[in-house]
Structures are given as C-alpha cells and as structure tokens.
Amino acid sequence: MSGDDDKVRFGRVVLPHLGDAYALARWITGHRADAEDVVQEACLRAFRAIGGFSGGNARAWTLTIVRNTAYSWLSKNRSAVVVSVDDLEATERAFAKPTDIGTGESYAANPETDLIAKADAAQLEAAIAALPAQFRETLVLRDIQGLDYREIAAVTEVPVGTVMSRLARARQRLIDTLGTRER
Amino acid sequence: MTDTPNERDRLLMHAYIDGELDPANAIAVEQRIAADPALAGERTRVEALRRALQERLPPEMPPPGLEARVRRTVGVAAERARPTWRALAASILVAVMASSATTWLVLQPAPGDSVADAVMDGHLRALMAPQPIDVASSDRHTVKPWFQGKIPQAPRVVDLAPEGFPLVGGRIDVIGRQGVPSLVYRRRQHVISVTAVPDSAHQEPPRSVKGYNVMRWAADGIGYWAVSDLNADELATFARLFRETPADR
C-alpha cells in the first residue's frame, strides 16, 4: 500500500509544480530538450524521496530537487558548461564600478531606464543567459518564477543574505547590459 | 563584514521592491531612497527591469507531453482521465453481480420505456464526458472492428458523411446487464447516439425524453435507438438514411 501512497503524494506534491520545474530546468540548462530530460530525472528522484517530504513548501522542495538534478545532469552531459563561481561574490565586490555607488542628479530619469524598459524578449533572454549560473538561477526564481527570498534560499541552499546579494548583482548586470546596448 | 553602508542600502532597496521588508524597515528604506538620488535612480531602473521581465518573459509552459512522460516514468496514472466507458461498464457489471437482489431489480430493464431511459442515460453521460466516444474515428472500418471482441455482436455501421451525418466514433453503453454498442454521429454541433439493443424491437418508444428526441426502429431482431438534441425532422431523416443505406456502399 505504501507504494500507492507514494504515488498519491507524488501527485499532490510534485505534479502541481511541473511547470515551475520545467521553467527552472530550462533556464539552468538553456535548452528545452535538456530541460525535459532533467525534469523527468528529477521527478524520478522526487518520487523515490517522497517519503522524506515533511509537508512544508512543496514547490520549494520540488524545485530544490530539480535544481540539483539540473546541475548534476549538466556536469555529466555538458561538462564544459558548468563554471565554478565560488568566489563570484568576492570578485564582484572587488570590481564594483565606482558609478554604482556614486551620487549625482542624473540618475533619476535617464536614457538607460528607457533602454531597459524597451528591451525585447530576445534581448532579455540573452542577457539572462549570459549571467553566471548562481546569479541567473536566483534572478529567474525571483523575477520570472516569483518565489520569495526564503523559498529561493531553500531551493538554492544558501542563506537569505546571499540570495539578496546575488539578486542585486544579477539585476545590476542586466541593467548594465540592457541599459548600454546599441539602439 | 565587507559590506559598505551603501551596499547594505542597495540590498535593502531590492528587498523593498520585492516586498520583503517589514513596515519599519520599509519606511527606513523609503527615507533613504528619498534622500539619495543615486539610490532613487537605481530603484527606477530595477523596477523598469522587473516590469520588462514580467511582461516579456512569462514562465515558459512545459511541452504538452511532459506530464504524461513523467507519469509513465514514475508509474502514476493520470488522475484527470475519467473512467472509460468500457471500464465503467465493467465496474457496473461487477456492481450488479455483487449487489443485492433489490439493486438487481433496479438495474434490470423493466417492461415499457426503460430501454429509452437507459439509452438516454448513456447519451447524457457520454455528453458529460470529455469525449462522448471510446473509439474516435470517422472510418467505419475502424469503428466496427473495435466493437468485436468487446460485445457479442458488433453493430451495423454505415457511412452517412455524404448526407451530412459524419460518423465520429463509438462507445459501449450498459443497458440492464448487457454491454451494447452505441455509434456516435454528428449533425453540425449536435451529437447523435445510435444504440443497438437486442430484443427491444417490440418496445414502443416515447417521442422524446427530457427534451431530447428519440427515434426507434427495428431491423434483423435488433432495436436501434437514436437519441439527440437535433430537431425531430432531421433525426427522422437520419433514421431513414441509417436504415436504407447499405453498410458496404
């Protein structure tokens, strides 16, 4: 009977979040077909682990498995893609541009904002794809999939403070890329 | 920590935009933004970015086959699929056999118009199902063999598409304890069920049941019951065509 119970739980816990699972997998792998393979493998893992789900946030639980599956899938099948970014945040701080923290009157309404507002889907997508993996997943989970900080912290297995700094940096990079592009 | 006060303000500004701050912190950030044009400019850009992302990059829908693929992999049956008519017929048969004599009598066709009611019920249930048919095909050479092996006698299937009554498929209904074939035709948006009920040829049908028109005719010892919300004249035309058209034309 526990096999049937697992199936029922899987149907309630994992399947409602298949859309989110696929969206995250697609952003991490960058390919639709890869995302399907990742989701399938992640669902199998989730099913085997469903007994361990303690009844918390089902979406965060499911996406955590999808994320881990996506990275292990990438390192197995697309080893060139995965870049270690352990020191990313420190590097980012060291190279923070003076203008980022400068003061001035010209910041409020400027052509940069206009360019960002007018970026089309392809430009947005390309800019997100160019982000380092940890920045990208944080931004996608927040600004496309709508998770809150605690959920993102759970899925990406880092403290909330790290989520905050990754999100701010990811957004700043997109603003830099989109706000300075050629018209 | 290595964070400068400015760094901290920026992070809090993002958290403010994301609605993650409690009221006290939110007010403090609003005051900081109001006092710092650089921070205000950054806020404007971040909000422009968020709007652009939300408007132009909605989460991509998974491909239609993905859920089915996952269900197959994991071995979880689709919940949304309602029982097929065959499964339902089987379960009714089981229920009848396992149930008391009282239930038995209820489900037994009584003399009179109970066949009409049963035929009508089959038609109505089918209309409520996602698909009013078990086998969806406009080809009678597909529909007729589908019945063989499932019920004692496959029905006579005729092609009435040239006359404007295309065949759309077939299903098995249960009348009394018996699985009987129903053919499904269409006239514009109206569904017509033709149910072949052995030994019901002697019964006089009502002209209509619950607002649906009913036609009955007999051929070769089989009673044919046509039910539809189609108007009575066109249903009569359909019945005549069904009777007169040879199955192998």
Inside any domain, residue A36: yes
Last residue of a domain, one of A13, A48, A77: A77
Last residue of a domain, one of A28, A56, A77: A77
List the domain range (segments joined by +) for residue B33. 5-56
Residues B233 and B137 in one domain: yes
Inside any domain, residue B239: yes
Inside any domain, residue B180: yes
Inside any domain, residue B171: yes
Per-residue model confidence (pLDDT) at position A97 = 47
pLDDT single digits (tens) A79-100: 665 555 555 555 555 544 444 4
Inside any domain, residue A83: no
Residues B119 and B169 in one domain: yes
Inside any domain, residue A68: yes
List the domain range (segments joined by +) for residue A135. 88-179
pLDDT single digits (tens) A72-81: 999 888 766 5
Residues A72 and A145 in one domain: no
Residues A95 and A65 in one domain: no
The CATH number given to whatever domain includes residue B169 is 3.30.200.100
Residues A35 and A101 in one domain: no
Inside any domain, residue B90: yes
Per the CB < 8 A criterion, the answer to whether A14 and A58 are in contact is: yes
* Chain B residue with the nearest C-alpha to that of A109: B41
Residues A50 and A106 in one domain: no
Q: What is the ipTM of this complex?
A: 0.85
Inside any domain, residue A118: yes
**Considering chain B, what percentage of its residues have pLDDT values greater than 70?**
77
* Chain A residue with the nearest C-alpha to that of B60: A23
CB contact under 8 A, A36 and B63: yes
User: What is the Cα–Cα distance from B230 to B188, expressed in whole angstroms?
Assistant: 9
Per-residue model confidence (pLDDT) at position A108 = 46
Contacts 24+ apart (CB under 8 A), B84-87: B84/B134, B85/B126, B85/B129, B85/B134, B85/B171, B85/B172, B85/B173, B86/B134, B86/B150, B86/B172
Inside any domain, residue B63: no
Inside any domain, residue A156: yes
Per-residue model confidence (pLDDT) at position B132 = 62
pLDDT single digits (tens) B166-198: 888 888 888 877 788 899 998 887 889 998 887
Identify the bridge partners of residue B50 per DSSP, sorted by sequence position.
none
Last residue of a domain, one of A25, A58, A77: A77
CB contact under 8 A, A171 and B46: yes
User: What is the Cα–Cα distance from B241 to B183, expressed in whole angstroms?
Assistant: 14
Predicted structure pTM score: 0.56
Using left for φ > 0, alpha for ψ between -120 and 50, and beta otherwise, residue B246 falls in: beta
Contacts A145 to B, Cβ<8 Å: 59
Residues A175 and A115 in one domain: yes
Inside any domain, residue A169: yes
Residues A108 and A167 in one domain: yes
Residues A93 and A50 in one domain: no
Residues A27 and A51 in one domain: yes
Residues A57 and A98 in one domain: no
Per-residue model confidence (pLDDT) at position B79 = 53
Inside any domain, residue A150: yes
Residues B226 and B165 in one domain: yes
Residues B35 and B104 in one domain: no
- Among B14, B48, B54, select the one facing A167 at the smallest CB separation: B14
Per the CB < 8 A criterion, the answer to whether A131 and A171 are in contact is: no
The CATH number given to whatever domain includes residue A69 is 1.10.1740.10
Q: Give A121→chain B minimum CA distance, Å.
A: 5
Q: Based on the structure, what is the number of domains in chain B? A: 2
Higher pLDDT, B228 or B189: B228
pLDDT single digits (tens) B142-158: 788 888 777 877 888 88
Q: Based on the structure, what is the number of domains in chain A? A: 2
Inside any domain, residue B51: yes
Per-residue model confidence (pLDDT) at position A36 = 95
The CATH number given to whatever domain includes residue A155 is 1.10.10.10
pLDDT single digits (tens) A149-174: 999 999 999 999 999 999 999 999 99
Inside any domain, residue B200: yes
* Chain A residue with the nearest C-alpha to that of B35: A103
Residues A12 and A92 in one domain: no
Contacts B79 to A, Cβ<8 Å: 11
Inside any domain, residue A127: yes
Collapsed DSSP state (helix, strand, coil) of residue B64 = coil
